[in-house]
Structure 1
Amino acid sequence: MTVIRAWLVLAFYFFRDLVLSVKDVVVTVLNPNRPIRSAIIAIPLEVESDPGITLLANMITLTPGTTSLHVSDDGKTLFAHVMNATDETAHQIKSGFETQVRRVLT
C-alpha cells in the first residue's frame, strides 16, 4: 500500500467515525432519556512511536463523545473516556484507528 493511499484510508476511517459519532451525540442530546453507558476504557497499544500514539490519541479526542485521557508510563496502554461504551469499544478503536495509524507510520 502506498503512503498516500494509507493516509487516504486513515482519513476515510476518521471521517466515517466522525459522522457516526456526531449522529450518536445528537441522538443522545435530543433524547435525554436514552441510556448512556459512559466509561473509561483501557486500550492496549501496538503502535509504539510517540507520533503514532499522539496521532491515535488526537483522532480519538477529535471524535465527538470520546476523549483521550492518559497514556501509561510504558506507552503500552491508552486510557479514554467514551460516552457510549460497549464491550467492543476498545477492539473497534484498535481494529479501526490504530490499525490505520500503524499503516501510515510504517
Structure 2
Amino acid sequence: MNLFVLNIGFAVVFTTLLGRGTIISFLVGFFIGYLALWFSQPLYQETSYFKKLPKTINLIGYFLVELLVSNLKVLWDIITPGHINRPGIIGVPLAARTDLEIFVVANLLSLTPGTLSVDLSEDRTTLYVHVMFLDDVEQTRQAIKNGLERRVLEVMRA
C-alpha cells in the first residue's frame, strides 16, 4: 500500500477518535502517523516517501512565502501614487525536462502575482516569463531557477 495513503488513513482515524473535525487534529494525526511509519521503516520495501514529503513541505512553504511577498508588492504598487513596477519579459533556461515538471514550474510561477508564464520555446529549454517588477534580469532569472524550479525538481525527481 502507498505510504502516503496509509498516512492519510492514520490522520483520518486519529481525527475521528478525537471527535473533532478540525484541520489541526488532522495535521497532528498526520504527523503522528508519519512518525509511526518512519519508525517502522525497516518493515517495508525501499520507498522515497520519507525523502519526498519533507521536500514537498519545503516547496509549499517556499511558494506560500513567495505568494505573500508578491501580493504585498502588488498591493503596495496599487495603493501608492507612484508606480514601482518595471515590467518585462525574460527567458528562463529550464532544467525541467518532462511535461509534468515544466507544467508545475510554469503554473506555480503564474499563480504568483507579478509573474506570468507566457510561452515555452520550441525546443522546450526556455520558459518565457512576464515579470512585473524587473529590476535585474539575471538576478530574477536566478531567483526563479534557484528558488521555485530547484524545489519543484527536488520533489518531482526524489
TM-score range, shorter chain: over 0.9
Which structure would you say has the larger RCO, counting Cα contacts within 8 Å and 6 or more residues apart? 1
| Paired position in structure 1 for 2:152 | 101
In structure 1, list runs of 5 or more residues that go unmatched: none
Give the structure with the larger strand fraction.
1
User: Per-residue deviation at 1:35?
Assistant: 2.9
CA–CA distance in structure 2, aligned partners of residues 69 and 82 of structure 1: 10
User: Per-residue deviation at 1:47?
Assistant: 1.1
Give the structure with the larger helix fraction.
2
User: Which of 122, 128, 150 is the equivalent residue of 1:79?
Assistant: 128
Write the letter of the residue equivalent to 1:29. I
CA–CA distance in structure 2, aligned partners of residues 49 and 86 of structure 1: 30
Write the letter of the residue equivalent to 1:20. V
CA RMSD of aligned residues (A): 1.1
Q: In the alignment, is residue 58 of structure 1 matched against residue 107 of structure 2?
A: yes
Q: TM-score, normalised to structure 1's length?
A: 0.95
Write the letter of the residue equivalent to 2:112. T
Q: In the alignment, is residue 17 of structure 1 matched against residue 66 of structure 2?
A: yes
Q: In the alignment, is residue 90 of structure 1 matched against residue 145 of structure 2?
A: no
| Higher radius of gyration, 1 or 2 | 2
Runs of 4+ in 1 over 6 A off after TM superposition: none
Query: How many residues of Structure 1 are paired with residues of Structure 2 in the alignment?
Result: 106
In structure 2, list runs of 5 or more residues that go unmatched: 1-49
Identity of aligned residues (%): 35
